[in-house]
Structure 1
């Protein structure tokens, strides 16, 4: 609608132990960080805990929901901002070619670029939204304007992922940087008294 917004997600994550903590903020592009809307998230195995630390109605309590049942509500948004979901999406890219060697996040990496079809774009998307775009995407096929770029270190570790899609005059991009790999991750215990909510009820621009 003529406006650009940026969702920023930062934090630490232990992929092997399946736990991490993320800080999410949403702001209109070009505005100050003070205008951003925040969200806190704690991942513990199959459960994600989240809260709005600044809620207009004063309710800043923690909620919890199933990590595996959370759905996608917008293109190139990971459910609950799950970084493993982005890795799953890029693993579904096809027609990959080598762009060259580059230094990314302070380390040498090989840059690959490829294409995305409708399957990674619609992965775990809510039914009503998927049904609106799935058929047109399938018809477009390989001409679908969606790309995946990935940078891989000499040790075979991904250090950056860039996903881009342009449809109907709208452009969406998602960049994930993976830094400090191998550094220990310490995460607080699950919040006590968190209210459990159905995954289907969790939606909005902050949670994907």
Structure 2
């Protein structure tokens, strides 16, 4: 099962990875914690280049971050909470997530944009208060790009480790190992979906 998923990621190529990361940022259907490690596995197997995987994942996520940034600028700080209450459920967003992101931004400013790119749960939503507060575009892009680059590189590197462990287990346990790893991956993704859906 895992091998098939990796093959799909490898077939989609860099454009596909960028598109998936863009979608994950805009309407999180698949967590980046699933996309980038599998892309890293594909790179370890020679189907993709690791640098290309990291760059394409970063670009895709950055484009999604820009969308939320400009939406935040349009909405403004006063209407941000009301907008999240009214429309947030369509994007897996809650007013609580926006409040948390606003607190981070109010406390740490531009540093929050960098740091939050590596914090699950508010990684995407920090763009809204940054835009609503009128943060300049260049610092926003710089902080977002650096934080996202580190995050995607870490996840892709995790994929490299997963590939090595996967091959070792496959040699020792045969076909049963593929089923076990596939089941584990499925449970991780399922847990992530349930966690997002149960968020208030």
TM score, norm. by length of structure 1: 0.26
Specify which structure has the higher proportion of helix: 2
Specify which structure has the higher proportion of strand: 1
TM score, norm. by length of structure 2: 0.27
Q: Which protein, 1 or 2, shows the higher relative CO under an 8 Å CA cutoff with sep ≥ 6?
A: 2
